[in-house]
Amino acid sequence: MRASRDFDDLPTDASFTTVDTHTEGEPTRIVLDWLDGSPLAGDSIRAKRESFADEYDWVRELLMREPRGHDDMFGAVAFEPHDDDADLGVFFMDSEGYLDMCGHGTIGVVSAFLDLGYLSSEPLIRVETPAGIVEASPEYNEDGVERVTIQNVESFVYGSTTVPVSFLDAPLSVDVVYAGNFFALVDSDQLGVGVDTTRTDEFIDWGLEIRAAVNDALDIVHPFTGDPGSISITEIYESPAEADRSIVVFGDGQVDRSPCGTGTCAKMALLHDIGKLSVDEPYIHESIIGTRFEGCITETKQRDGVTVVVPTITGTARITGKHTFVKDSRDPMTSLRIA
């Protein structure tokens, strides 16, 4: 019997190469196949993401969902930037769709690409994302990249609202904050529970219901671009003495294992707005599994009458593998979800 040592003998329709990482526990499967300049139509990163979604959404499903991924998988597609000033272009995806910005994913991509020599070790790496340019500053030790700090896009409190929800008698108060994605932020005191892993399924149901209720209640428009927006992520937080902790629900009910990079920025923007976090004051944000991002607001600005903050977050990512995924032409099971 002959053992096949590579994929050349398999009847494959397609194959994809990824570098997989986790950032403080949250995976990022980084797709390399568009890095060599393979064309994605469009004259902006958003347009390129739209063409990917139109033409290659099956690749997202193939790589994010079972049997190659799982319902909580997260991914990034890396490509040559559209913006001449950027070093790298990235957009983000999960098992349900796409996000405009991702903090843990950006840390994962920058850290892995530096460790693998795909990026040269500059002190500042500019990453083009659908939300705008994000600046990454790596810190090294003798073994390579130790941590990465990213300066996220300008973030701001959009407003607040109350929405009726099935799991409370009273309406729920929600703060709406933009930090590269629009967030619904909810204080867990209103739910009468602390944030921990004993109730993850309930938090997922609540998070999805809150997101839908706020999207029903508000017609969100980004104040600077005029683009229509919607809440993509619900962040339910508590503030114990040692460090703020949150559970972050997005996609089709995914839970971020990391403290959520954009979610940390959203929380800092909210705290600054209510006078509880000053510029340059260190902020620690803990995830549902106890991992942490360090955050800071480095600056505030007035933009079109809105106070925006410039937030940074710092965290560590590690490579978990490099993979070649194939779509065997005999295999009908390209993407599996159990309802």
Pick the piece of the chain touching ligand PYC (CB under 6 A) from 4-12, 97-105, 183-191, 208-216. Answer: 97-105
Minimal distance, residue 59 CB to ligand PYC, in Å: 19
260 binds ligand PYC (CB under 6 A): yes
Output 258 or 316, the one with its CB closest to ligand PYC.
258
311 binds ligand PYC (CB under 6 A): no
For residue 113, how many other CB atoms are within 10 A of its CB? 25
CA quadruple 106, 110, 111, 115: dihedral, nearest 10: 160
Tell me the C-alpha to C-alpha distance, in Å, between residue 269 and each of 38, 72, 174. 38, 27, 14
Distance separating alpha carbons of residues 174 and 185, to the nearest angstrom? 6
Output 19 or 99, the one with its CB closest to ligand PYC.
99
27 binds ligand PYC (CB under 6 A): no
In the set 56, 250, 283, 325, which binds ligand PYC (CB under 6 A)? 250
In the set 68, 104, 292, 327, which binds ligand PYC (CB under 6 A)? 104
69 binds ligand PYC (CB under 6 A): no
261 binds ligand PYC (CB under 6 A): yes
- Residues in contact with ligand PYC, counted by CB under 6 A, come to a total of 13
Q: Which of 131, 260, 253 is nearest to 185 (CA)?
A: 260
Minimal distance, residue 74 CB to ligand PYC, in Å: 6
Is the separation of the CB atoms in 251 and 95 below 8 Å?
A: yes
71 binds ligand PYC (CB under 6 A): no
Residue-by-residue DSSP string for 221-253? B-TTT--B--EEEEEEEE--SS-EEEEEEETTT
Alpha-carbon dihedral sign for residues 251, 81, 127, 231: negative
Tell me the C-alpha to C-alpha distance, in Å, between residue 12 and each of 69, 311, 329. 18, 45, 5
In the set 111, 151, 155, 262, which binds ligand PYC (CB under 6 A)? 262
Minimal distance, residue 272 CB to ligand PYC, in Å: 18
Tell me the C-alpha to C-alpha distance, in Å, between residue 16 and each of 30, 290, 322. 10, 33, 11
Is the separation of the CB atoms in 288 and 26 below 8 Å?
A: no
In the set 103, 130, 138, 311, which binds ligand PYC (CB under 6 A)? 103
Active site residues: 102, 260
Between strands 132-141 and 26-31, the pairing is unpaired
Output 261 or 327, the one with its CB closest to ligand PYC.
261
Distance separating alpha carbons of residues 306 and 152, to the nearest angstrom? 17
**47, containing H or E segment:** helix 45-64
207 binds ligand PYC (CB under 6 A): no
In the set 61, 87, 154, 256, which binds ligand PYC (CB under 6 A)? 256
Output 18 or 262, the one with its CB closest to ligand PYC.
262
The identity of residue 182, as a single letter, is F
203 binds ligand PYC (CB under 6 A): no
Q: Which of 95, 98, 102, 97 is nearest to 129 (CA)?
A: 102
100 binds ligand PYC (CB under 6 A): no
Pick the piece of the chain touching ligand PYC (CB under 6 A) from 55-63, 109-117, 170-178, 259-267. Answer: 259-267
Between the two ends of the chain, the Cα-to-Cα distance in Å is 40
* Cα 277-147-118 angle, rounded to 5 deg: 130
Output 26 or 115, the one with its CB closest to ligand PYC.
26
In the set 90, 102, 174, 213, which binds ligand PYC (CB under 6 A)? 102
The site for ligand PYC (CB under 6 A) is made up of 26, 74, 99, 102-104, 250, 256, 258, 260-263
